[in-house]
Amino acid sequence: MAHKSLNLNFNIEGDNIYEKLKFIIVFRFTAISLAVLAYLLILIKHNSSLFIYNEVEIFIFLFITLLFTVLYSIINYYIRKKKKERYFGLFGSIQLIFDFILISAFVILNGGLESNLIFLYYLLVLIAGFIFLGAGIIFFTVASSLTIGFIADLQFYFNVPGHYYYLYNPDKLLFALSLNIFGLLIFGWILYKFSKNIKYLSNKVIEIDEVMKNAAIFNKELINSFTQGVIVLNDKNDIVFVNKSGMDLVETGIFKESHVGKAGTFYYFNLRIDDIFKDFPLNIFEDEKINNVRFEVKYNGSIIGFSYSKFKENSNSGWHILLFRDISYVKELELDAKINEGLIATGKLAGWLAHEIRNPLSAINTSIDILNSENRKFAGDVKISGDDFNKLTEIIKAETIRLESLVKDFLGFVNTKTKTFNINIIDNSVNFEYFNLYDFSEYIISQFKSSEDYNIVNRIDSKINIFFEKYRLQQIFVNIIENAAASIKSKYKNCGNNKRGKIRISSIEISGDFLIEQNKVDNCLIVKFYDNGEGIGEDIIKNIFKPLFTTKKNGTGLGLSIVKSILDNFNGNISIKSKKNKGTLINIKLPLYEFSGHGKQ
């Protein structure tokens, strides 16, 4: 007949039993000391005695327990250090055997079956179950039960504490014996039944502990593998965390050799952040609203870039996380990029200047060719009349002034401010003049008449005369019309000559009091430019006035930025409304100045 054999296995893995033994060493002394002292205080309060001979024995018991605790701790550490894991099971068994002998001796000397220290057998079984699970429970439950029977024999047959009482009261002895053995066996049986669950829970705890250890190691290695430094500060700006890259980025000697092993772990380094970075702006921590900011600090001839954010854990409120790295090389690249951008901008400005100079030079060359002595006859038939001669010289003079202004704009990028212009003072250095807006616009339109892609309709009121810098207004008109013409050409380039675009220019004079700087202006003029070209997208409109922004293949990105700059200088403004494939409407608003002594014509 087959039967189950009871297998008492005391072999347990080294790391597992080491942690258990370390816990039991401390637990044993703490639990026994608290329990005995509690009994002592209770019995003294009730004028009773815990011991048959002398209360001093409790101190002897506690001293021996403390001595064994220290000895166990030393042996446990020695076995772990020497990597003698195979001896952990033996050492754990020896501990429990010594505990068993010590408990038995004190029970015998302190009343035997009447002693209050018998509960220590229960504690011993519990400890044995914790260390060796079911095997430990069975072994020490049986051993403790047999020892209690042996103590009963000693008390009945020999002169030990309680001998005479039990000699004349054997029924009391049998009752005490049965009660203690029966209680211990039930306790052991219950523990044994739960030992499998205890083993499962123990394995789970060990598994979770292993996972946590591996996670801690992984996190440490991961953070230490970062190429940028990581520093965590507490609410007093002390460094409590720094990774390996952070240590490598700072000067040698700041972190001691003993600190190297603490990289990637929380540790109080006894250092403040301003002990390392002297120019560190500690004031950024004072503003509760400041978070996720970037800043730079000079350090040992280098530039260190920081990214700062607050610690979001409630338990660590007031802590700060700093990511940092050496950005000196990046700064050099940024400087080179700015230089390259400057060169590109200079090239575009040169292209714009050449573009703007081309028209006045053409007008000057044409006028000079006509005035050339080879084409003029002073005797007989005169090819050029006096009025024509004056008109040609005026064109040369006007275009020369325009060229001079373009050079000034190029050097200062439209930096010739006229906001200080005072309409009550005649200043010949300011190139303001009265002229008819319709005639002026006809002159501008004439430069675009040769195109077959679009028609330009001039609906400006022929009675409007304005007081303005003519060459500035010419820049505004030319740039806006050129953009409109380009938009129409782009839209109708594949439609043949049957489809022609349209550009319409109109004006509205608005009456009212307008305060421009210190000058009071009665009227303002709005000039509207409409075209039915391809239109402008919203993403382009929001950037269209930025210098060097262009969507044209060979564009300079300066046309409309110059227009806006001129209008800003003259206290005017510009607005654009556009729809894709529908067209564009541009409104420019100008103050109508009146000059004293001239008035409006």
Model pLDDT for residues 13-45, shown as the tens digit of each residue: 444 677 777 777 877 778 767 766 766 666 666
pLDDT of residue 99: 85
> Do 117 and 150 share a domain, yes or no?
yes
Residue 594 confidence (pLDDT): 67
Mean pLDDT on 181-193 = 90
Local confidence band at 565 (pLDDT 50, 70, 90 cut-offs): confident
My answer on whether 301 and 379 are in the same domain is no
- pLDDT tier for residue 449 given thresholds of 50, 70 and 90: low
The token pair at 55 is 């209360």
Instruction: Looking at the structure, tell me whether residues 110 and 247 fall in a common domain.
Output: no
Average pLDDT score, the chain: 77
- Report yes or no: 589 and 526 within 8 Å, Cβ to Cβ: yes
69 assigned to some structural domain: yes
The arithmetic mean of pLDDT across residues 449-472, rounded, is 84
- Domain match, 89 and 150 both: yes
Last residue of a domain, one of 174, 193, 212: 193
Treating both helix axes as pointing N-terminal to C-terminal, what angle do 386-412 and 328-371 enclose, rounded to 10 degrees? Answer: 170
Per-residue tokens: 369: 């060719």
Confidence label for 169 from pLDDT (cuts 50, 70 and 90): confident
- Give the residue from 269, 303, 326 where a domain finishes: 326
Q: Which of 170, 193, 216 is the last residue of a domain?
A: 193
Q: Considering only 57-61, 70-74, 255-259, 373-377, which range has the smallest mean pLDDT?
A: 373-377
Query: Binning pLDDT at 50, 70 and 90, where does residue 115 land?
Result: confident
Q: For residue 453, name the pLDDT band (cuts at 50, 70, 90).
A: confident
Among 71-80, 327-336, 541-550, 585-594, which stretch is predicted with the lowest mean pLDDT?
541-550
**For position 422, what pLDDT does the model report?**
46
pLDDT for 517 equals 46
Residue 206: inside a domain: no
314 and 289 in one domain? yes
Residue 221 pLDDT level (bands cut at 50, 70, 90): confident
Helix (H, G, I), strand (E, B) or coil at 520: strand
- What is the model's pLDDT at position 150? 92
CATH of the domain at 241: 3.30.450.20
20 CB neighbour count, 10 Å cutoff? 20
Rounded-to-integer distance, Cα 480 and Cα 458, Å:
14
Q: Judge whether residue 488 has pLDDT over 50.
A: yes
CA–CA dist 83, 228 (Å, integer): 38
Please check whether residues 436 and 565 belong to one and the same domain: yes
The CATH number linked to 551 is: 3.30.565.10
Instruction: Determine, yes or no, domain membership for 127.
Output: yes
437, exposed or middle or buried, with CB in 10 Å at 0-12, 13-18, 19+? buried
- Alpha-carbon distance of 548 to 536, in angstroms, equals 17
Averaged over 539-550, what is the pLDDT? Answer: 78
Percent of the chain whose pLDDT exceeds 70: 74
For residue 459, pLDDT over 90 is answered with yes
User: Exposed, middle or buried: residue 473 (CB in 10 Å: 0-12, 13-18, 19+)?
Assistant: buried
Q: How far apart are CA 599 and CA 335, in angstroms?
A: 54
In terms of residue numbers, what domain contains 295? 226-326
- Given pLDDT bands bounded at 50, 70 and 90, which one contains residue 192? confident
Query: Do the domain assignments include residue 143?
Result: yes
**Whether residue 303 is found in the same domain as residue 343:** no
- Report the pLDDT averaged over residues 134-143: 89
User: How many residues make up the chain in this entry?
Assistant: 601
Mean pLDDT of 101-123: 84
Q: What is the pLDDT of residues 360-411, one digit of tens each?
A: 777 777 777 777 655 554 434 445 666 677 777 777 777 776 676 666 556 5
Q: Tell me, what's the pLDDT at 537?
A: 82
pLDDT value at position 20? 75
The reported pLDDT for the residue numbered 407 is: 67
Give the C-alpha separation, 370 to 362, whole Å: 12
Residue 337 included in any domain = yes
141 and 51 part of one domain? yes
Is residue 312 in a domain?
A: yes
Q: Cβ neighbours of residue 178 under 8 Å, at least 6 residues apart?
A: none
- What is the H or E stretch that residue 473 is in? helix 470-492
Higher pLDDT, 256 or 234: 234
- Is position 214 within any domain? no
Residues 420 and 403 in one domain: no
Residue 531 has what pLDDT? 93
- Within this chain, do residues 133 and 155 fall inside the same structural domain, yes or no? yes
Number of domains in the chain: 4
At residue 585 the predicted structure's pLDDT band, cuts being 50, 70 and 90, is: very high
Encode 314-326: b = buried (16+ Cβ within 10 Å), e = exposed: eeeeebbebbbbb
Model pLDDT, residue 414? 44
My answer on whether 250 and 281 are in the same domain is: yes
More confident residue, 393 or 53: 393
Rounded to two decimals, the pTM is: 0.40
Q: Is residue 204 part of a domain?
A: no
Helix (H/G/I), strand (E/B), else coil: 323: strand
Identify whether residues 310 and 373 lie together within a single domain.
Answer: no
pLDDT digits (tens, 9 = 90+) for 499-521: 578 999 999 988 765 544 445 55
Does position 529 have pLDDT exceeding 90, yes or no? yes
Question: Given this model, what pLDDT does residue 182 score?
Answer: 92
